[in-house]
């Protein structure tokens, strides 16, 4: 199972519905500033950042080539917007493109292994200009617990293990930011009901995003079977609940801002 930029793009409306949570925390920037979007996906959030720096530029980076290719195809003709393949763990390779006035990230950093977060934050700190902003949101403690009640034991039945996410609590992520040298640290856990209009939308969320966390530990030969079984099991669980079926998914997000000292 590989990421597919076009399939992902079809199932990101639930992210876009909550972009304001991050954007309202991003403070005004100098017109000529540079913004870096880490884990840009298909670039829709990234493109919206261009207006924040009317004489500046925005760079979106993602670890997946399919995501970047989709972003480039969907946002051709933006002279101040660019995309490239760079994992979060390789931020240090972007030194020649900085410094950046702000770094943002939405729905990405929970895919970065916990062991890599200190070095990612240190590299980000180094790339920011003095006073530069760190403004991110990603999965926090309790994220998709409702789905996990079905998916975690099912993955074990398929020979897999725990999902490969990092969902920290407030204290853990605040400490990581402070250890990397950031100041004015503010970290919150925010609960959101992500809208899924029907069973097909919920299955699309699973196949375009959620199930990737389980795949590394499941034998390749069983991926197709697991994907089908997982979707069926989650939808069956929702539809077996009393009352009208509610396909919305409860998300719990870390929303964090911090600065590099002046």
**Which string of b and e fits 217-233 if b means at least 16 CB within 10 Å?**
ebeeeeeeebbeebbee
* pTM of the complete model beyond 0.85: yes
- Residue 4: per-residue pLDDT: 83
- Residue 77: per-residue pLDDT: 85
The 10s digit of each residue's pLDDT in 87-137 is 999 999 999 999 999 999 999 999 999 999 999 999 999 999 999 999 999
Question: Is residue 152's pLDDT more than 80?
Answer: yes
Q: Where are the domains of the chain?
A: 5-143+165-195+250-259
Question: Is residue 70's pLDDT more than 90?
Answer: yes
Question: Is residue 1's pLDDT more than 70?
Answer: no
H/E stretch holding 227 reads helix 223-239
Is the previous residue joined to 99 through a cis bond, with omega within 30 degrees of 0? yes
Degrees to nearest 5, angle at CA 159 with 158 and 165 = 95
- Residue 168: per-residue pLDDT: 99
CATH class of 5-143+165-195+250-259: alpha beta
CA–CA separation, 189 vs 113, rounded Å? 19
The 10s digit of each residue's pLDDT in 3-12 is 887 888 889 8
Task: Kindly state the tokens that stand for 144.
Answer: 């998709």
Residue 34, CB-side half-sphere exposure with 13 Å CA sphere: 15
Inter-residue contact 68 to 6 (CB < 8 Å): no
- Residue 157: per-residue pLDDT: 98
pLDDT mean across residues, the chain = 96
- Residue 2: per-residue pLDDT: 79
> How far is C-alpha 186 from the geometric centre of its chain's CA atoms?
19
The 10s digit of each residue's pLDDT in 22-56 is 999 999 999 999 999 999 999 999 999 999 999 99
H/E stretch holding 212 reads none
Task: Kindly state the tokens that stand for 128.
Answer: 């920011």
The 10s digit of each residue's pLDDT in 155-194 is 999 999 999 999 999 999 999 999 999 999 999 999 999 9
């Amino acid at each position: 199972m590989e990421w597919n930029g076009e399939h992902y793009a079809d199932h990101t409306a639930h992210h876009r519905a909550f972009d304001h949570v991050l954007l309202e925390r991003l403070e005004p920037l100098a017109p000529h500033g540079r913004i870096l979007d880490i884990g840009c996906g298909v670039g829709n959030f990234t493109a919206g950042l261009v207006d924040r720096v009317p004489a500046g530029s925005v760079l979106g980076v993602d670890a997946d080539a399919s995501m970047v290719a989709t972003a480039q195809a969907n946002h051709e003709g933006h002279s101040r917007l660019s995309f490239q393949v760079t994992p979060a763990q390789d931020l240090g390779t972007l030194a020649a493109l900085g410094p950046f006035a702000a770094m943002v990230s939405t729905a990405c950093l929970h895919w970065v292994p916990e062991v890599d977060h200190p070095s990612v934050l240190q590299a980000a700190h180094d790339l920011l200009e003095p006073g530069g902003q760190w403004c991110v949101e990603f999965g926090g403690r309790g994220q998709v617990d409702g789905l996990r009640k079905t998916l975690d034991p099912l993955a074990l039945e398929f020979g897999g293990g725990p999902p490969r996410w990092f969902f920290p609590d407030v204290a853990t992520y605040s400490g990581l930011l402070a250890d990397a040298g950031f100041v004015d640290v503010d970290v919150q856990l925010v609960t959101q009901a992500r809208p899924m209009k029907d069973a097909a939308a919920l299955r699309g969320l699973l196949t375009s995003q959620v199930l990737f966390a389980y795949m590394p530990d499941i034998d390749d030969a069983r991926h197709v079977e697991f994907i089908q079984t997982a979707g069926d099991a989650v939808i069956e669980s929702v539809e077996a609940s009393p009352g009208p079926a509610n396909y919305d998914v409860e998300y719990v997000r870390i929303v964090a801002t911090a600065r590099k000292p002046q």
